[in-house]
Amino acid sequence: MLALLTPFSRSTKSFRKDLLNVRLLLLFALIFTLIPIPFIKSQDPNQQPRPSASPTAAPTPLPPPTVKIDNYRAAAARIIGAALTSNRAYERLSFLTDHIGNRLSGSQSLDRAIEWAVAEMKKDGLDNVRAEKVMVPHWVRGQESLEMTAPVPRKLMMLGLGNSIATPVEGITADAVVVRTFEELDALGEKVRGKIVVYNAPFTNYGATVRYRSAGASRAARYGAVAALVRSITPVSLGTPHTGAMIYDETQPKIPAAAITIEGAELLQRMQNRGDRITLRLKMEAKFLPDAESANVVAELKGTERPDEVVVIGGHFDSWDVGQGANDDGGGCIISWEAARLLKELGLRPRRTIRVVLFTNEENGTRGGTANRETLTRPSCQNTCW
Amino acid sequence: MLALLTPFSRSTKSFRKDLLNVRLLLLFALIFTLIPIPFIKSQDPNQQPRPSASPTAAPTPLPPPTVKIDNYRAAAARIIGAALTSNRAYERLSFLTDHIGNRLSGSQSLDRAIEWAVAEMKKDGLDNVRAEKVMVPHWVRGQESLEMTAPVPRKLMMLGLGNSIATPVEGITADAVVVRTFEELDALGEKVRGKIVVYNAPFTNYGATVRYRSAGASRAARYGAVAALVRSITPVSLGTPHTGAMIYDETQPKIPAAAITIEGAELLQRMQNRGDRITLRLKMEAKFLPDAESANVVAELKGTERPDEVVVIGGHFDSWDVGQGANDDGGGCIISWEAARLLKELGLRPRRTIRVVLFTNEENGTRGGTANRETLTRPSCQNTCW
């Protein structure tokens, strides 16, 4: 949902900070917001879905356009010109990432980012700028480490997974069992009792591979494993572990979970294939503090003809704690915000209200998105499209 | 010199651990060693270099081959077949990197690697297997860190450069000045006195860009800088600093030098461009211990017709202390060694002696290469080609 109008795909997590890309994507976002979208309420409930054309049939002609595109050419040209000659979005993104940095839910830096965005949006002259309070989980990483003690002593790069519990203070020292798939784990079953399960699943696509990060710990705990390590969910690595959220199955014992690098996972795989007995020591201090106050940042550009019909655009303002949250999802936030700012600067008022939302807590709770959705279930919000 | 017959180029430092590549490159190495190379001693000293053809002239016909290639087809086919069906080289490289790991000059792991190689080469039945003693520099990294204290507190990823001196225990805290080129530094001149100079030179090619790592510290020290930071010499980064050697100009004060990431260098550049005053604290414990005993590992396959004419192939066995030395240059060592092993296994004896040398201390001293060259200046070694 949150990614509907943010062009940075959450599924690839690739790095696309290139300025030109940001600008081009911004343009698409702008143009989409300008063209009146047929809202759900205007759809005919009796309308039947069109049967899809069979592969051999002639293509069904498109229905005539319901919008006179030509009416928007002049406005689109002004927006494109302004977007391609302004550095504002890039400057704001670089200030956000350089001076405020990463923004995990509950962190002071997320609070600072929210204050900064509200103040800047007011300077931009946007309407109804506000921070809508949301209580968020407050997970903190603490110190963490992973080392191999056998067959050779060696430190391994790791990052604890978001939502993971800690290990005991002295760490968990246990033999490792490497599997490439859940099926391999299931085949081993009780043989992993007391072991650290290492998921060495090569990246295919985000959705397919992220299951090992999300659900791997509880799946291993089902068979008595004492910790889970997951090969980072990425096709590219320079010894770089990726953090991300994991979710406990409440019916299983909770065990600590961390990401290791592709190189680390392949090292363990080679050692296992070679017949080595592998012993690892995992130490993690991760824990939840009491829920913290945070907020969705909201700003609007009031519509001229139908101000109570609202198009919501946005990104999520929180990030993990180990990068800068530039691509995930500072960029999505800034271009959504910039779309409204540019329209305001150009004196272009849309027919419907455009609402920019910088959601809090997407990474480890989606409390911001949930809270925002709940505001839209009120009868007065039935005309909102997001 | 050392790279003459090792197909892993030192100038690109790219990662090419792919097994197929290793095998194909191995084949080339093998074939090159089998074809009698016209040695320097057989060249006519009165021979004039052929004038190079002008761009418009018809291409000069190649001279007739001096070797009957057909005589080697059967042997080449056996070598290719054996190389493409053997995992030995990959298994040895992975054992070297997984179980012994990185191998900085003076380290216990380099000693272990040398002992292992000598023992394995003897098992292979190679001739005259030996470790030729070489005294090497013994630089140790110690603890090190870099943090920004202004405009915002932030840790920066770094790796001290090989051969660098330490900072005082409390570190060096100073303002940073970012330059993209030596020319920018020279234009600033005395303005960098008391400052930490940051070289943010984008990668063009290794030779052109590595100058900032090799010579940047002394060039900055000339103007009174107190430390130097160098953007890592690579076109690719995931927040990954690259270590490597630096060399002090003995006529200038010695100042500590470290590599930072591309991302870190660009962050500092953006901050400087924005007008921020940047303050950094660099801490390094790097130092030289007394020279340590090491060795070049040497093994031969004695020639049948001209055993005193020698073709040297090899790689360097030492590596930096922060990786595994797989590509730089474990791979070069193992394929050189494997070339001789395969010939031995196949019962193929070359006409001239093939000598495999796993050189020590290429990374920070080239003492192994120098020592080996000195053995070749003896009159009895005039027939050696390497």
Q: Is the dihedral of CA B237, B238, B241, B242 positive or negative?
A: negative
Distance from the Cα of B117 to chain A's closest Cα (Å) equals: 18
| Residues of B with Cβ-Cβ distance to A271 under 8 angstroms | 98
For residue B275, give the DSSP letter: T
Whole-angstrom Cα distance, residue B82 to residue A2? 56
Determine, for residues A101 and B270 on separate chains, whether the beta-carbon distance falls below 8 Å: no
> In this prediction, does ipTM exceed 0.90?
no
DSSP B222-268: TTT-SEEEEE-S-S--SS-----B----TTS----EEEE-HHHHHHH
Q: Nearest by CB to B238, which of A94, A99, A238?
A: A238
Determine, for residues A237 and B238 on separate chains, whether the beta-carbon distance falls below 8 Å: yes
Q: Which residue of B has its CA nearest to A155?
A: B322
Q: Nearest by CB to B267, which of A98, A239, A274?
A: A98
Cβ contacts from A onto B, under 8 A: 32
- B101 shares contact with chain A (CB less than 8 Å): yes
Distance from the Cα of B291 to chain A's closest Cα (Å) equals: 26
- Secondary structure percentages of chain A, helix, strand, coil, to 5: 35, 25, 40
> What digits encode the pLDDT tens for the residues A132-157?
999 999 999 999 999 999 999 999 99
Strand order in the sheet with B287-301: B127-140, B287-301, B352-359, B306-316, B384-385
The answer to whether residues A197 and A218 touch, using CB atoms and an 8 Å cutoff, is no
Instruction: Specify whether A309 is catalytic.
Output: no
Please state the φ and ψ torsions of residue A138, each to the nearest 5 degrees.
-125, 85
Residue B90 tokens, joined = 């990959």
Residue B64: pLDDT band by 50, 70, 90 thresholds? confident
Q: Which residue of B has its CA nearest to A14?
A: B238
Alpha helices by DSSP H, B85-170:
88-95, 108-123
> What digits encode the pLDDT tens for the residues A36-82?
433 323 334 344 444 444 556 677 888 877 778 888 999 999 999 99
Ranges for all domains in chain A classified under CATH 3.50.30.30:
142-285
Torsion, Cα B318 B323 B324 B330, to 10 degrees, reads: -50
First to last CA, chain B: 8
Is CATH 3.50.30.30 the right assignment for the domain spanning B142-285?
Answer: yes
Alpha-carbon Rg for chain A, nearest whole angstrom, is 24
Predicted local confidence at residue A69, as pLDDT: 84
Ranges for all domains in chain A classified under CATH 3.40.630.10:
19-36+67-137+291-385
Please state the φ and ψ torsions of residue A87, each to the nearest 5 degrees.
-100, 5
- B154 shares contact with chain A (CB less than 8 Å): yes
> What digits encode the pLDDT tens for the residues B15-33?
333 444 444 444 444 444 4
> What digits encode the pLDDT tens for the residues A331-380?
999 999 999 999 999 999 999 999 999 999 999 999 999 999 998 876 66
For residue B162, give the DSSP letter: B
For an interface test with B, the pick among A270, A321, A322, A327 (most B C-beta atoms closer than 10 Å) comes out as A270
- B270 shares contact with chain A (CB less than 8 Å): yes
Hey, what CATH topology would domain B19-42+67-137+291-385 get? Aminopeptidase (3.40.630)
Q: Nearest by CB to B270, which of A94, A237, A267?
A: A94
The answer to whether residues A320 and A254 touch, using CB atoms and an 8 Å cutoff, is no
Determine, for residues B94 and A270 on separate chains, whether the beta-carbon distance falls below 8 Å: yes
- For residue B250, pLDDT beyond 60: yes
Distance from the Cα of B237 to chain A's closest Cα (Å) equals: 8
| Residues of B with Cβ-Cβ distance to A151 under 8 angstroms | 99
Residue type, A150: A
Q: Nearest by CB to A99, which of B101, B152, B238?
A: B152
Q: Is the dihedral of CA B213, B215, B219, B220 positive or negative?
A: positive
Please state the φ and ψ torsions of residue B110, each to the nearest 5 degrees.
-65, -40
Whole-angstrom Cα distance, residue B313 to residue B311? 7
Determine, for residues B239 and A240 on separate chains, whether the beta-carbon distance falls below 8 Å: yes
Predicted local confidence at residue B380, as pLDDT: 63
Q: Nearest by CB to A270, which of B98, B101, B237?
A: B98
- Cis? peptide before B329, omega within 30° of 0: yes
- B41 shares contact with chain A (CB less than 8 Å): no
Q: Provide the phi-psi class of A239: left if phi over 0, else alpha when psi is between -120 and 50, else beta.
A: left
Q: What is the mean pLDDT of residues B4-12?
A: 34
Q: Which of B77, B199, B134 is nearest to B365 (CA)?
A: B134
Determine, for residues B239 and A239 on separate chains, whether the beta-carbon distance falls below 8 Å: no
Ranges for all domains in chain B classified under CATH 3.40.630.10:
19-42+67-137+291-385
| Residues of A with Cβ-Cβ distance to B274 under 8 angstroms | 95
Hey, what CATH topology would domain A19-36+67-137+291-385 get? Aminopeptidase (3.40.630)
Residue type, A118: V
